[in-house]
């Protein structure tokens, strides 16, 4: 693992992530995110955009795809209601020699390396955690580690994007943070043709008839304002395919079963 020394303090950096994700959707949304990260003058600073939408609509995939479009290293931090300021910045651990070592979070690692940080499900964090990020999200562009006493400045190439589920907020994001997380980019459920492309991208081995059946189911659910997502559709098709291979039965028998097993009996109302 890579280590870096700042003001005599040795920090162990987190590793970037590599995911098999590809954005199959509206190019306009990708361009909106990339524009938010642009710096067009030496006096300009990048935005800290937030991606908002229901679970499973592809917020993380969009963020990852935008970073990879720029050929940038990607780091991810999964926010929870238990996230503490030190979790976001630097954490002390006991090393093999029984001495204290300092581990930089994925956020700080991205700051130091000039990568992209995806702060996933940011509206699960408490105000105390958000407060530690306030100077990073304005023109100061730094965080302070109480544990080490370090003031850590962000590399000019550092970018951050925050994803937020519309229905999963554990805490209200404080107003002074809301104003720092701009612009807001909303991701809605895809149209039928986009949904089919996403399913084909994730399940290239599935027959078109199976994927179209799942898309039809999802579109009916979307129209009824259900929270069933493309991710659910992928799981339905994948499980149906596995059951077909296991039992030798046809898709018309296994697809309804897959819908019920993945989403519950109440989802059957959206089948033809």
- Domain locations in the chain? 3-186, 192-270
Peptide bond into 232 cis (omega under 30): no
Rounded Cα gap, residues 80 and 120, in angstroms: 9
HSE-CB at 15 with a 13 A cutoff on CA atoms is 4
Average pLDDT across the chain, whole number: 93
Q: Write down the CATH number for the domain with range 3-186.
A: 3.40.50.300
Rounded Cα gap, residues 12 and 72, in angstroms: 20
pLDDT confidence of residue 167: 66
- 145-182 residues labelled b (16+ CB within 10 A) or e (exposed): beebebebbbeebbbbbbbbbeeeeeeebeeebeebbe
pLDDT confidence of residue 267: 96
Identify which of 14, 20, 116, 21 has the alpha carbon closest to the alpha carbon of residue 71.
Answer: 116
Cβ(206)–Cβ(255) below 8 Å: no
Residues whose CB falls within 8 Å of the CB of residue 23, separated by 6 or more in sequence, listed in order: 30, 58, 61, 62, 64, 65, 66
pLDDT digits (tens, 9 = 90+) for 119-171: 999 999 999 999 999 999 999 999 999 999 999 999 999 999 999 988 655 67
| Tokens read off for 71 | 């050929």
Identify which of 75, 96, 108 has the alpha carbon closest to the alpha carbon of residue 3.
Answer: 108
Global confidence as pTM: 0.88
How large is the average pLDDT for residues 109-118? Answer: 98
Identify which of 173, 185, 49 has the alpha carbon closest to the alpha carbon of residue 116.
Answer: 49
Phi-psi region of 176 (alpha: psi -120 to 50; beta: other; left: phi over 0): alpha
pLDDT band at residue 22 using 50, 70 and 90 as cut-offs: confident
How large is the average pLDDT for residues 260-271? Answer: 96
pLDDT confidence of residue 169: 58
% of the chain surpassing 70 pLDDT: 99
Rounded Cα gap, residues 257 and 265, in angstroms: 9
Rounded Cα gap, residues 56 and 218, in angstroms: 12
Q: Is the pLDDT of residue 96 over 80?
A: no
Q: Is the pLDDT of residue 29 over 90?
A: yes
Residue 43 sits at the vertex; the CA angle it makes with 151 and 178, to the nearest 5 degrees, is 65
């Amino acid at each position: 693992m890579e280590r870096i020394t700042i003001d005599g303090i040795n920090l162990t950096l987190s590793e970037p992530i590599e995911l098999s994700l590809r954005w199959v959707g509206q190019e306009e949304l990708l361009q909106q995110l990339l524009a938010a990260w642009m710096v067009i003058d030496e006096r300009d600073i990048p935005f800290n955009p937030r991606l908002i939408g229901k679970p499973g609509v592809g917020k993380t995939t969009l963020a990852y795809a935008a970073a990879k479009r720029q050929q940038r290293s990607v780091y991810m931090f999964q926010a929870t209601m238990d996230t503490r300021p030190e979790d976001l910045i630097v954490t002390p651990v006991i090393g093999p020699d029984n001495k204290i070592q300092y581990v930089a979070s994925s956020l700080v690692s991205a700051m130091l390396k000039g990568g992209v940080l995806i702060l996933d499900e940011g509206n699960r964090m408490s105000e105390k955690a958000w407060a530690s990020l306030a100077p990073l999200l304005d023109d100061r562009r730094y965080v302070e580690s109480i544990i080490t006493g370090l003031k850590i400045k962000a590399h000019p190439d550092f970018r951050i994007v925050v994803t937020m589920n519309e229905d999963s907020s554990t805490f209200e994001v404080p107003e002074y943070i809301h104003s720092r997380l701009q612009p807001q980019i909303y991701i809605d459920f895809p149209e039928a043709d986009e949904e089919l492309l996403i399913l084909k991208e994730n399940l290239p081995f599935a027959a078109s008839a199976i994927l179209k059946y799942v898309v039809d189911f999802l579109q009916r659910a979307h129209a009824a304002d259900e929270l069933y997502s493309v991710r659910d559709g992928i799981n339905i098709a994948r499980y149906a395919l596995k059951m077909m291979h296991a039992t030798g039965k046809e898709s018309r028998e296994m697809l309804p079963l897959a819908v019920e097993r993945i989403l519950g009996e109440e989802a059957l109302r959206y089948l033809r």
